[in-house]
Amino acid sequence: MTAMVKSEGVHKSFGQVEVLKGIDLEVNTGEVFCLIGPSGSGKSTFLRCINHLEKINAGRLYVDGYLVGYRQKGDKLYELKDSEVALKRRDIGMVFQRFNLFPHMTAVENVMEAPIQVKGVKKADARDRAMELLERVGLGDKAKNYPSQLSGGQQQRVAIARALAMDPKLMLFDEPTSALDPELVGDVLDVMRDLAESGMTMVVVTHEMGFAREVGDSLVFMDGGVVVESGNPRDVLTDPQHERTKSFLSKVL
């Protein structure tokens, strides 16, 4: 197995506040990698670093063997141009906590937008593919609805379809169910479960321990900007080794 994401001593600061204090981890191709931890632990920030929405201050971050945001020539690092960063992002799908669907477009237009604008796919082809993806997330009948006419769970499933439309190699999920009513969480997790079964590489920041235990292949517990504990989700969740992990899990489980 090869590493889809490889992080070596990644540091990130916002002004004086150091959010990531040296993250070392590897996400293998095809695995579901769960990041858990208290809020403010840096897990969402790390996720955003993977597709260069945040610039890292130190360390190296590789996606699919390529350095994120930079090009290395000899000892020197060169910043990538915006267009080069955009090119890399095509292969990385991202799902946000607050969905971030485009409110002025219907569900199907949301899904069609990037393939047409970024890849130059023909409109008719993009629409067929978008309908296929909406069917896959169980929303074929909602294609013509605007985001404001959809429930949170439906919006998040459209957002997943939108990310999948770019045929990504890697999917990033930033607390995808945290903004949802408890009733609606299940539908979104079902879609994610299907996606995991299809062999997609997924990095999931989540508070859904049940999902992590059931679907996750690896799990990392982060706190205060460092990795406290990592391993198989079932092992970590049932038999945590560190005090900090134990106290966190005792509160959330």
In eight-state DSSP terms, residue 175 is S
What is the Cα Rg of the chain in Å? 18
Q: Choose, by CB under 8 A, the member of 40, 103, 199, 210 that binds another protein.
A: 103
**Please, are residues 219 and 36 in contact by the beta-carbon 8 Å criterion?**
yes
**134 binding another protein? (CB under 8 A):** no
**Minimum distance from residue 89 beta carbon to another protein (Å):** 4
- Between CA 81 and CA 57, with CA 74 as vertex, the angle to 5 degrees is 55
Distance CA 233, CA 211 (A): 10
Stretch that binds another protein, among 79-87, 123-131, 175-183, 198-206 (CB under 8 A): 79-87
Site string for another protein, 205-234 (x = CB under 8 A): ------------------------------
Q: Does 247 bind another protein (CB under 8 A)?
A: no
Determine which residue in the list 21, 26, 30, 53 makes contact with another protein, applying CB under 8 A. 53
Buried b / exposed e over 67-96, threshold 16 CB at 10 Å, is bbbbeeeeeeeeebeeeebeebbeebbbbb
For another protein, the closer CB: 40 or 103: 103
Q: Which stretch binds another protein (CB under 8 A): 8-16, 101-109, 123-131, 215-223?
A: 101-109
CB 189 within 8 A of CB 180: no
Give contact residues for another protein (rule: CB under 8 A).
51, 53, 82-83, 86-90, 92-94, 96, 98, 100-104, 113-114, 117-118, 148, 159, 162-163, 166
